[in-house]
């Protein structure tokens, strides 16, 4: 039961807070206002937090060891209890599963291991009943070699219908082209793994010496574009609420940005007419390109910007790679992150949202590199109070571990480490499945102390409750939401903590995080008169802020009028 207007505050402290409510609090005179959007975005994004579900590892209802849609439906009340607004589902389509479903064989059919199309429809409807939206993965850039479009493209004497793929002569010498399986004599362009042939949306600047490089206006490329629009329409009609577009920047080849922007603008215009509340999310990792091109949200992750690495450093499980701000050894540099983040934020904030996710199915989880539960609280205190739309990867809310050297299942490579089954309880298979342990999609974390949902529900101090409370706080206060103003207050090179202001609503918030295991302190003039909402390991004395190892604090300051 909630006892406080400020859900992060214990009962005793909330009384104290109530007593202080009328006391004069000092404002932050140059606090940025709420951001005014220059183009329509779905209203629900203003305070949204999303939850990513990797379907094969979430909940298994038929005992085959693989998660399924019925399992997700059965856990929707749990998802609701987190307070999240939307789910992003990794691919659920028919596939040979060479890349965990990112090799689609039939875009319009749910893979039998996950259930049926009727189950997907039911999932959308059940989620909607609970006020949760469902964003599905759109693997737009490539198919599986087993897709009928590709099989057709491999025929020798093709009837006069559009060719969906890019073929170069058999003797061409470019590593991105792969010898076709026959009978067609030639090499096709791959997009990721060799069994993922690139769909042909065209080239921004085709080289006339390479006749296979077509302009996006070529009838073959137009046919591909329309076929993918038809896939989007199909899933919107089933009831989904938008798309997370896989490798969104990969669709147009050799582009200076113009053709790719034109392609996504075209899709956006159509989508927003077809279903105005639907959302477009990109895996592009360059918000300053993706958002103006038409996306509502872009993940600031690994491809084109080092920003996320400078914060979290999750990429490729490289234990000893460059230090990041969230390193417990305190060797990160918040100014390096901000130098990447702020220009992207400034360029995009009136058009859409940057997402700094807790992790995803391609990265190591945040419980990694020595970070334990108290450290994750510091990490989430920041990720869930930054501008943009936060995404929580399933299991991160309970602190599931990144697992070293996990099996390379379905093209996972190093990524098996973050794809292990969800830990629901202390029961057999952590409550994920009734299959025998050797039949599970991936092995569970063998740690006898592995965290699970049931235990954390019972523990008021758990990471699960903390995450819920941060989400609730964000929902309650527009300053903390996607559109709240953002201003670093204390950010020094190679120095901890990081202190910033979120502003624009009736109340402003000052957030301080020290992910380092070394204590630190600083002067923050804006702390004058601020009231504590939540903290661990932090103490103030006037404008002096003392922060212990792995500490955070959230303060409320009066908004300027
Ligand atoms: C994206 C997906 C990843 C997949 C790749 C190819 O990066 O997130 O899991 O392997 O695209 O589709
Ligand atoms: Ca199953």
Residues 73-84 pLDDT 10s: 999 999 999 999
Contact yes or no for 421/47 (Cβ under 8 A): no
Q: Which residues contact 450 (CB under 8 A, 6 or more apart)?
A: 400, 401, 423, 430, 444
For residues 370 and 499, what is the distance between their CA atoms, to the nearest angstrom?
23
CB 143 within 8 A of CB 150: yes
pLDDT score at 4 = 36
Taking 70 as the threshold, does the pLDDT of residue 319 lie above it? Answer: no
Q: Does 12 score more than 50 pLDDT?
A: no
Average pLDDT over residues 3-13: 34
The angle that helices 219-238 and 258-274 make with each other, rounded to 10 degrees, is 30
Cβ atoms of 369 and 329 closer than 8 Å: no
Region 320-338 average pLDDT: 87
pLDDT-derived band of residue 346, with 50, 70 and 90 as boundaries? very high
Q: What is the pLDDT of residue 157?
A: 80
DSSP SS3 for 414: helix
pLDDT of residue 18: 28
Please confirm whether the linkage preceding 288 is cis (ω < 30° from 0): no
Q: Averaged over 355-365, what is the pLDDT?
A: 94
Q: How far is the CA of 218 from the centre of ligand 1 (A)?
A: 27
Task: Report which bound ligand comes closest to the CA of 99.
Answer: 1
Residues, CB within 5 angstroms of ligand 2 (ion): 60, 62, 64, 66, 68
Model confidence band, residue 2 (pLDDT cutoffs 50, 70, 90): very low
> Assign residue 555 a region: left if phi > 0, alpha if psi is -120 to 50, beta otherwise?
beta
How many other CB atoms sit within 10 Å of the CB of residue 557? 24
Q: What is the mean pLDDT of residues 501-530?
A: 96
The model's pLDDT over 154-183, given as tens digits with 9 standing for 90+, comes to 998 877 788 999 999 999 888 899 999 999
Give residue 325's pLDDT: 95
Question: Angle at CA 370, nearest 5°, toward 499 and 378?
Answer: 25
Per residue in 103-161, pLDDT (tens digit) is 999 999 999 999 999 999 999 999 999 999 999 999 999 999 999 999 999 998 877 78
Indicate which atom in ligand 1 lies nearest the CA of residue 360: 8
Query: Can you tell me which atom of ligand 1 is nearest the CA of 142?
Result: 12
**pLDDT band of 321, cuts 50, 70, 90:** low
What are the helix (H) ranges across 197-303?
Answer: 219-238, 258-274, 287-293
* Contact (Cβ atoms closer than 8 angstroms) between residue 83 and residue 468: yes
- The minimum-distance atom of ligand 1 relative to the CA of 139 is 12
Q: List the one residue out of 356, 393, 509 whose CA is nearest residue 89.
A: 393
Residue whose C-alpha is closest to residue 496's, from 475, 483, 512, 480: 512
* The total number of residues written for the chain in this structure: 561
pLDDT at position 369: 86
pLDDT at 320 exceeding the cut of 80: no
Cα 225 → chain centroid: 25
Q: Is the pLDDT of residue 324 over 60?
A: yes
* Ligand number with the minimum distance to the CA of 97: 1
Q: Percent of the chain having pLDDT more than 90?
A: 87
**Rounded to the nearest whole angstrom, what is the distance from the C-alpha of residue 550 to the centroid of ligand 1?**
33
| For range 212-222, the mean pLDDT | 97
Mean pLDDT of 486-503: 98
Using most ligand atoms within 8 A of CB, pick from 95, 103, 243, 362 the residue to mutate for ligand 1: 362
- Which tokens is 101 given? 């479903």
Instruction: Tell whether the model's pLDDT for residue 7 goes beyond 60.
Output: no
d(CA 197, CA 144): 7
Nearest CA to ligand 1 atom 7: 247
CA–CA distance, 127 with 122 (Å, rounded to integer): 8
pLDDT average, residue stretch 412-440: 97
Q: What is the mean pLDDT of residues 394-423?
A: 96
Closest CA to 84 of 43, 45, 126: 45
Strands (E), 334-482: 353-355, 391-393
Q: How far is it, in rounded angstroms, from Cα 59 to Cα 394?
A: 11
Ligand with an atom nearest the CA of residue 70: 2
Which ligand lies nearest the alpha carbon of 190? 1
- The string of DSSP letters for 462-508 reads SHHHHHHHHHHHHHH-GGGSTTSEEEEEE--TT-S-EEEEEESSSEE
Q: What is the mean pLDDT of residues 262-282?
A: 97
Is it the case that residue 98 has pLDDT exceeding 90?
A: yes
Identify the three-state secondary structure at position 51: strand
Over 70: is that where the pLDDT of 59 sits?
yes
Q: Specify the pLDDT at position 25.
A: 38
Atom number in ligand 1 closest to CA 362: 9
- Quote the CA–CA distance of 290 and 245 in Å, as a whole number: 11
Q: Closest ligand to 56 CA? A: 2
The more confident residue out of 28 and 355 is 355
Residues whose beta carbon lies within 6 Å of some atom of ligand 1 = 99, 102, 139, 192, 246-247, 283, 361-362
Ligand 1: nearest atom to the Cα of 193: 6
Task: Report the nearest-CA residue for atom 12 of ligand 1.
Answer: 102
Q: How far is the CA of 315 from the centre of ligand 2 (A)?
A: 30
Whole-number Å distance between alpha carbons of 551 and 224: 51
CA 405 to chain centre: 23
Distance 124 CA to ligand 1 centre (A): 23
Ligand 1 atom closest to Cα of residue 191: 6
pLDDT confidence of residue 119: 98
Question: If you measure from the C-alpha of residue 362 to the centroid of ligand 1, how many angstroms do you get, rounded to a whole number?
Answer: 7
């Amino acid at each position: 039961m909630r006892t406080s207007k400020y859900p992060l505050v214990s009962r005793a402290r909330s009384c104290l807070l109530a007593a202080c409510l009328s006391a004069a609090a000092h404002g932050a005179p140059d606090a940025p206002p709420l951001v005014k959007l220059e183009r329509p975005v779905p209203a629900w994004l203003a305070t949204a937090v999303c939850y990513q579900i990797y379907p094969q590892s979430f909940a298994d209802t038929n005992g085959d060891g693989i998660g399924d849609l019925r399992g997700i439906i059965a856990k929707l009340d749990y998802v609701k209890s987190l307070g999240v607004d939307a789910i992003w589902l990794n691919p659920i389509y028919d596939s040979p599963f060479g890349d965990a479903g990112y090799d689609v064989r039939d875009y319009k059919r749910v893979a039998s291991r996950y259930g049926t199309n009727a189950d997907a429809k039911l999932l959308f409807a059940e989620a909607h009943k609970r006020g949760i939206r469902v964003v599905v993965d759109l693997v737009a850039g490539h198919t599986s070699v087993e897709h009928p479009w590709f099989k057709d493209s491999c025929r020798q004497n093709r009837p006069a219908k559009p060719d969906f793929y890019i073929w170069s002569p058999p003797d061409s010498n470019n590593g991105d082209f792969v010898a076709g399986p026959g009978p067609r004599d030639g090499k096709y362009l791959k997009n990721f793994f060799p069994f993922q042939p690139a769909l042909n949306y065209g080239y921004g600047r085709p080289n006339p010496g390479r006749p296979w490089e077509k302009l996006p206006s070529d009838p073959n490329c137009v046919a591909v574009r329309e076929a993918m629009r038809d896939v989007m329409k199909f899933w919107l009609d089933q009831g989904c609420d938008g798309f997370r577009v896989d490798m969104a920047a990969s669709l147009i080849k050799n582009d200076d940005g113009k053709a790719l922007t034109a392609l996504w603008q075209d899709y956006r215009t159509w989508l927003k007419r077809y279903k105005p509340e639907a959302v477009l999310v990109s895996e592009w990792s360059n918000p300053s390109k993706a958002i103006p091109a038409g996306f509502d949200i872009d993940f600031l992750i690994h491809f084109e910007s080092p920003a996320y690495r400078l914060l979290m450093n999750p990429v490729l499980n490289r234990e000893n790679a460059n230090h990041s701000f969230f390193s417990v050894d305190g060797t990160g540099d918040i100014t390096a992150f901000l130098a990447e983040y702020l220009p992207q934020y400034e360029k995009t904030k009136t058009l859409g949202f940057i997402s700094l996710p807790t992790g995803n199915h391609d990265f190591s989880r945040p419980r990694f590199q020595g970070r334990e539960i108290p450290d994750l609280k510091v990490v989430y205190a920041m990720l869930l109070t930054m501008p943009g739309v936060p995404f929580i990867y399933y299991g991160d809310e309970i602190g599931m571990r990144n697992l070293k050297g996990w099996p390379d299942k379905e093209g996972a490579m190093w990524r098996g480490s973050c794809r292990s089954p969800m830990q629901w309880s202390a029961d057999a298979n952590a409550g994920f499945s009734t299959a025998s342990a050797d039949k599970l999609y991936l092995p569970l974390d063998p740690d006898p102390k592995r965290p699970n949902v049931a235990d954390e529900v019972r523990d008021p101090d758990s990471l699960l409750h903390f995450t819920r409370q941060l989400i609730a706080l964000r929902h309650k206060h527009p300053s903390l939401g996607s559109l709240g103003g953002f201003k670093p207050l204390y950010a020094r090179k190679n120095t901890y903590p990081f202190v910033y202001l979120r502003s624009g609503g009736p109340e402003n918030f000052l957030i301080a995080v020290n992910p380092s295991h070394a204590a630190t302190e600083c002067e923050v003039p804006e702390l004058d008169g601020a009231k504590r909402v939540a903290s661990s390991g932090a103490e103030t004395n006037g404008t002096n802020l003392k922060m212990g190892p792995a500490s955070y604090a959230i303060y409320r300051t009066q908004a300027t009028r």
